[in-house]
Amino acid sequence: MFVLDKHGHPLQPTSPAGARKLLRSGRAVVHRHTPFVIRLKDRVRDESTVPGVAVGVDPGSKHTGVAVFTERDGSRAGRYALQLDHRGGAIRDKLASRAALRRGRRSRNLRHRAPRFSNRTRPKGWLAPSLRHRLDTTMSWVSRLTHWAPVTAVHVEKAAFDTHTMSAGRPLEEVQYQQGTLAGYEVREYLLAKWGRTCAYCGTQDVPVNIDHIHPRSRGGSDRISNLTLACIGCNQTKNATLIEEFLKGKPALLAKILKQAKAPLRDAAAVNATRWALWRALKATGLPVSTGSGGRTKWNRSRTGAPKSHTLDALHVGELESVTAWPSRVLVVKATGRGAYARTTSDRYGFPRLVRPRIKLHHGFQTGDLVRAHVTTGKKAGVHVGRVLVRSCGKFDITTRHGRVAGINHRHVRHLQRADGYGYTTQKESDRDD
């Protein structure tokens, strides 16, 4: 749990039991509900008694893992973990839909806005809106953590894999990759991401996979990335040194798919790598010490500590470390939901206006997305309901709790816990998460 002093300056985080003890004794008050932050009423920060924490960041295309941990003599102890669920895919789809609608209006010679893409220049460092969203969201949460915890350093995964050593013109020749501690980790991580962690020949998932040469080495095949794929143990042994054209003679569609994917670049990874560089520059601009590491090294660190695969545990294992003594058992999942839409009408399936939305968002002091508590004493909905609210101008609200949606609650029974900030929050066990 995050702790602030009486003036709002961050102190060393404490355990949930310690936070409950401080609240029961009256020494602290709740400063924020989610993430849970308390503020002490009888203490002022003393720099000499606050050892500080570090933040680890594992950027991703759909999810970004963030871990808060303490460091001592190369060992790390996880104190807090959160996963950011981005909506970059939704932004990309909406922009593509908007562009298609505009092109359609121009081609049909209807009333339209003139195209402006031919007379615009992009500034240096420009990112697509979907990538900019990932960068801004991650930086926003790193900034929040620096206000709630005494952050002294940031560790970020700067590249998913060392693409410089895996280029077509430069094979892996360095000793540290062939005989050193990182041997094979960069290549394997790249292939797992490119082939979706499944067997390329039978599509089996969640089983141990081997690196297979599409064109066998015994028949002149190379070790380049474009000639490598993933195969389960059964398919790998059955194929052996057989040419892929002979092995998949009866499956021409699968053969064409594998050969096409083998030559295709990993576009998602390239986009994420571009975001990582921009994130690294943004983190450097904060003035905090920033250290970097690759995804291959992160995976090697996890293999030594025995930690399962997840975004938050990857964030805990970024960079150089000796050991990890503990990690959080629960993870705060933060989903970017946005702050509403600009559209004032809702259309039907044919594109015609169906209803007109109100011009104001605030109704009876609440707006959609606020975290609230409703205490209903009588009726079918009697009880305490905690969750996100959906407001209506009539005063009958819906509250979405972890057990489902409760509809038609009068606004007089509703009390604020936290204002909407563009994110939805859920808590999950580390072992229950599927990454």
3-17, 267-281, 316-330, range with the lowest pLDDT = 267-281
Cα(84)–Cα(311) distance, rounded to whole angstroms?
9
The region that residue 358 occupies, defined by phi over 0 for left and psi between -120 and 50 for alpha, beta otherwise, is beta
Pairing of strands 63-72, 371-376: unpaired
Cα radius of gyration rounded to whole Å, the chain: 26
pLDDT in tens, 385-403: 999 999 999 999 999 998 8
Alpha helices, H only, 109-243: 129-148, 175-178, 185-194, 233-239
CA distances from 105 to 7, 114, 117, 343 (A): 57, 10, 16, 19
pLDDT band at 433, cuts 50/70/90?
low
Model confidence pLDDT, tens digit, residues 91-140: 988 888 888 888 888 888 887 777 777 667 788 888 889 889 999 999 99
195 has pLDDT over 60: yes
In sequence order, which residues have a C-beta less than 8 Å from that of residue 167 and are 6 or more positions away?
Answer: none
Phi, psi of 299 (to 5 degrees): -65, -40
Closest of 164, 258, 264 to residue 213, by C-alpha: 258
pLDDT score at 232: 93
Q: Encode pLDDT of 7-27 as tens digits.
A: 999 999 999 999 999 999 999
Weakest mean pLDDT among 58-62, 178-182, 314-318: 178-182
Above 50 in pLDDT, residue 244? yes
Q: What is the pLDDT of residue 186?
A: 64
The pTM score is: 0.75
Question: Which tens digit of pLDDT belongs to each residue from 52-72?
Answer: 999 999 998 889 999 999 998
Q: Which domains are assigned to the chain?
A: 1-47 (no CATH), 51-103+128-338 (no CATH), 360-421 (2.30.30)
- Percentage above 70 pLDDT, the chain: 90
Q: What is the mean pLDDT of residues 259-263?
A: 84
Using a 10 angstrom Cβ sphere, with 0-12 exposed, 13-18 middle and 19 or more buried, the burial of residue 181 is exposed
Which residues in 266-285 are b (16+ Cβ under 10 Å) and which e?
beebebbbebbebbbebbee
Which of 106-110, 222-226, 262-266, 287-291 has the weakest average pLDDT?
A: 262-266
Query: Average model confidence (pLDDT) for the chain?
Result: 85
Provide the pLDDT for residue 265. Answer: 62
Residue 171 banded pLDDT, cuts 50, 70, 90: very low
Residues 339-380: tens digit of each pLDDT: 877 788 888 877 788 888 888 889 999 999 999 999 999 989
Residue with tokens 């806005």, as numbered in its chain: 113
Q: How far apart are CA 81 and CA 63, in angstroms?
A: 13
Element (H, E) at 77: strand 75-85
Is the pLDDT at 159 greater than 70, yes or no? no
Reference 298, options 323, 310, 315; nearest CA is 315
Residue 342's pLDDT is what? 79
CA nearest to 276, candidates 86, 124, 61: 61
Q: How confident is the model at residue 235 (pLDDT cuts 50, 70, 90)?
A: very high
Question: Could you tell me the CA-to-CA distances from 412 to 16, 263, 395 in Å, in that order?
Answer: 32, 62, 8
Is residue 229 scored above 70 in pLDDT?
A: yes
pLDDT tens, 69-85?
Answer: 999 888 999 999 999 99
Highest mean pLDDT among 113-117, 204-208, 319-323, 364-368: 364-368
Comparing CA positions, the residue from 12, 61, 100 lying closest to residue 196 is: 61
Q: Which residue has the higher pLDDT, 31 or 220?
A: 31
What's the confidence (pLDDT) of residue 182? 44
Contact 364, 392 (CB under 8 A): no
C-alpha distance from residue 408 to each of 13, 189, 381, 412, 432 (Å) = 39, 50, 9, 12, 33
Contacts of 252 (CB under 8 A, 6+ apart): none
Q: What is the structure's pLDDT at 313?
A: 94
Q: What is the DSSP string of 331-377?
A: EEEEEE--S--S--EEE-TTS-EEEE--S---BTTB-TT-EEEEEE-
